[in-house]
Amino acid sequence: MVRTTLVGDPGDLLARLPEAAPYAWIRHGEGLVAWGEAARVAVPPGPRRFEWARDWLSATFGEAHVDDDVGAPGSGPLAFGSFTFDPDAPGSVLVVPQVVLARREGRAWLTTLGEERLDLVAPLRDPGRIRYGDGSLTAPEWEHAVARAVRQIRSGRLEKAVLARDLTATAEREIDVRLLLSRLAARYPGCYTFSCAGLVGATPELLVRRTGETVDSLVLAGTVSRGTDEADDMARGAALFASDKDRYEHTCAVESVREALAPLCSELKVPEEPELLVLSNVQHLASPVTGRLSAGTSVLDVVAAMHPTAAVGGTPTGTALDVIRELEGMDRAGYAGPVGWIDARGDGEWGIALRCAQIEGRRARLFAGCGIMGDSVPAAELAEAQAKLRVMQYALEG
Q: Which amino acid is at 330?
A: M
Alpha-carbon distance of 170 to 159, in angstroms, equals: 37
Residues sharing a CB contact under 8 Å with residue 257, sequence separation 6 or more, in sequence order: 217, 219, 270, 289, 306, 309
Q: Across-strand partners of 109?
A: 6, 102
Q: How many CB atoms within 10 Å of residue 173?
A: 12
Burial 274-301 (b: 16+ CB within 10 A, else e): beebebeebbbbbbebbbebeeebbbbb
> Quick one: which H or E segment has residue 65?
none
Of 106, 110, 123, the closest CA to residue 28 belongs to: 106
Q: Which of 205, 328, 381, 384 is catalytic?
A: 205
Torsion of CA 312, 314, 315, 320, to 10 degrees: -140
> Quick one: which H or E segment has residue 358?
strand 356-360
Q: Which of 160, 328, 381, 388 is catalytic?
A: 160
Say whether 388 is catalytic.
no
Ramachandran area for residue 376 (φ above 0: left; ψ -120 to 50: alpha; else beta): beta
Say whether 160 is catalytic.
yes
Give the catalytic positions in this structure.
Answer: 160, 205
